[in-house]
């Protein structure tokens, strides 16, 4: 059966009311699009971050006030060739060390006090920076994406069924 020529005229055609309904049906879709797209910003990894230096890992003779901020970071956070400061490790010095050169044996340990994030354009903080979802906790970001989309799918199924009833 030809819908355009036989059914549409008997149902009243495609008039002003139908156009208004179509336009207003776009508003919820726009809101859904913004909600789904916002997840990208909420879970964006900062471009630059490193462990916060822990003074407890340094020898007791070390005085941070004697060094510039960059020199202090170079002594406490390992340098990764080509990419800058290490994201997930700190140096731990022997307790009796007095030499802070490359020759002293330093142990690499995971971050103890958290991370320092570079201020970038956009959001000043998001899920990743608020809950430190970097290094060992990075796996929680894809899990959050999966849970978010599973909630959307279940919501569509359950609420769609309720609306049909």
pLDDT digits (tens, 9 = 90+) for 41-52: 888 888 888 888
- Considering the domain boundaries, does residue 103 fall inside one? yes
- Considering the domain boundaries, does residue 143 fall inside one? no
- Considering the domain boundaries, does residue 70 fall inside one? yes
H or E stretch covering 92: strand 89-92
Question: Is residue 38's pLDDT more than 70?
Answer: yes
Residue 7's pLDDT is 73
Three-state DSSP class for residue 79: strand
- Considering the domain boundaries, does residue 32 fall inside one? no
Three-state DSSP class for residue 115: strand
| Predicted TM-score of the model (pTM) | 0.64
pLDDT digits (tens, 9 = 90+) for 89-147: 888 887 776 666 666 777 888 888 888 888 766 667 888 888 888 888 889 888 988 98
The domain tally of the chain equals 1
Residue 56's pLDDT is 80
Residue 138's pLDDT is 86
């Amino acid at each position: 059966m030809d819908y355009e020529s036989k059914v549409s005229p008997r149902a009243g055609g495609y008039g002003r009311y139908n156009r208004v309904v179509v336009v207003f049906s776009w508003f919820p879709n726009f809101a859904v699009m913004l909600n789904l797209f916002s997840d990208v910003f909420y879970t964006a990894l900062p471009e630059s971050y490193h462990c916060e230096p822990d003074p407890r890992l340094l020898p007791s003779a070390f005085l941070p006030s004697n060094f510039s901020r960059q020199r202090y970071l170079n002594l406490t956070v390992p340098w990764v060739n080509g990419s800058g400061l290490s994201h997930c490790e700190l140096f731990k010095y022997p307790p009796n060390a007095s030499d802070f050169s490359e020759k002293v044996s330093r142990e690499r340990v995971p971050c103890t006090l958290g991370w320092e994030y570079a201020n970038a354009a956009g959001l000043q903080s998001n899920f990743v920076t608020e809950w430190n979802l970097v290094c060992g906790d990075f796996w929680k970001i894809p899990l959050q994406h999966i849970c978010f989309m599973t909630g959307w799918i279940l919501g569509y199924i359950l609420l769609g069924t309720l609306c049909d009833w």
